[in-house]
A = this chain, B = another copy of it.
Amino acid sequence: MSEDGKLKYYRLKEDLKEQILSGKIKAGDKLPSENELARTYCLSRHTVRKALAILADAGYVEAVHGSGTYCLKRFGKKRESKIIAVVTTYLSNYIFPKLIQGIDKVLSENGYSIILKNTGNSRKKEAEYLEDLLTKDIDGMIIEPSKSELYCKHVYLYERMEENQIPYVFIQGLYEQMEEKPHILMDDCQGGYLVTNHLIRLGHRHIVGIFKADDRQGRERHRGYVKALQEAGFLYEPDQVIWFHTEDRREKPSAALKQLRKQGREIDGIVCYNDEIAIQVMESLKQEGLSVPEDLSVTGYDDSLYARESEVGITTIAHPQEKLGEMAAQLLLEQLRHVPPEASRVQRLIEAKLIVRDSCRDRKKQLV
């Protein structure tokens, strides 16, 4: 019934819609007047009006009393919903509050609401939510991709977003195939470089790295770690690096470290993926009777509460998550305003900053 091509108003409606979608009628164009359409299509004006009413209701055109009927810019979207979707991986993550705070600050100031989606770092969930969001009436999206180091199988969903004129901004991570899309990232490579370089300058020579294998941050921090080593003229030994995954994050790092030490490997410094891992490692070293920083230096990442409040303050990397949130929101707003004919290709890296605390020792000086 709803596809009944016999109905006159339906055929006219479809014909006009096709002309709009194909570009024959462009945004802002004035449509033929009702009487003119009635003449050319051999219909009564009433029937023409019915077809136009449906198109107006669906947001394709707008009738202006006394002037004419005009084709709208963003077909199919009646009005701005003033809703932005924010898709994140973890809510439990200790950096999430800062991030969402930054996003909320900018967006709420501009009258937008946030719809929150949490993937739990699952690709399947991400795809599911993107599909759901496509059915909803959102104006834009800020997305932290799940397992961003893996090839993305649902690029088509992002393409559908673009077809629906829904701009989006990547944060924290980015799929390889989409590196030109607007995004805001932390300079994790630089952060990894900073901590490693810090240890090297304090006279460390045998620096183990512990990194997360299944996200961009892990890979980037590792890249910085390698860069610092090579710059200092040290040989990069893959054996010296421990890789862990989301699933084994609670045991793998300390277990693998014990293993390394059992193999008789000399270690004087450990660059950890983040503060949580640093805490875990320090706990494990303590149990083995080693003290930080006297016997071994340890660095963290994130400048979280762990780093500030733990027994031995952790030397770590601060990265302004709140600012990242703000910048991502700002970038999205720009995209919304310019109704981009050619999508603006803005990408930004946010600088990391070294925070020196008590978990690293200057090995060039003797212990007192």
Contacts and interface: CB of A to CB of B under 8 A. Distances in A.
Interface string A272-314: 0000000100000000000000000000000001100111000
Contact of A118 (B92, B104, B117): B104
A115 interface: yes
A116 B108 CA distance: 10
A97 to B, nearest CB: 6
Contact of A108 (B98, B114, B118, B136): B118
Contact of A91 (B104, B113, B309): B104
Interface string A78-122: 000001001000011110111011001000100001111110000
A237 interface: no
A132 interface: yes
B113 A114 contact: no
A26 B197 CA distance: 75
Contacts of A93: 97
B136 A113 contact: yes
A92 B83 contact: no
A21 to B, nearest CB: 23
Contact of A309 (B83, B97, B114, B306): B306
A92 B98 contact: yes
Interface in A118-148: 118, 132, 136
B115 A116 contact: yes
A29 interface: no
A18 interface: no
A93 to B, nearest CB: 8
A97 B98 contact: no
A97 B108 contact: no
A111 to B, nearest CB: 8
Contacts of A114: 115-117
Interface string A43-87: 000000000000001000000000000000000000000010010
A115 B101 CA distance: 14
Contacts of A132: 113
Contacts of A94: 97, 305
B91 A101 contact: yes
Nearest to A65: B1
A11 to B, nearest CB: 20
A144 to B, nearest CB: 15
Nearest to A137: B137
A136 B116 CA distance: 16
Given A91-B100, A306-B309, A309-B310, A83 B118 contact: no
B91 A97 contact: yes
Contacts of A305: 94, 305-306, 309
A358 B114 CA distance: 42
The 8 closest A-B pairs by CB, nearest first: A305-B305, A309-B309, A91-B101, A114-B116, A115-B115, A116-B116, A309-B310, A104-B118
Interface of A: 57, 83, 86, 91-94, 96-98, 100-101, 104, 108, 113-118, 132, 136, 279, 305-306, 309-311
14 contacts: A91-B104, A92-B97, A92-B98, A92-B101, A94-B97, A100-B116, A108-B118, A113-B116, A113-B136, A114-B115, A114-B116, A114-B117, A115-B115, A115-B116
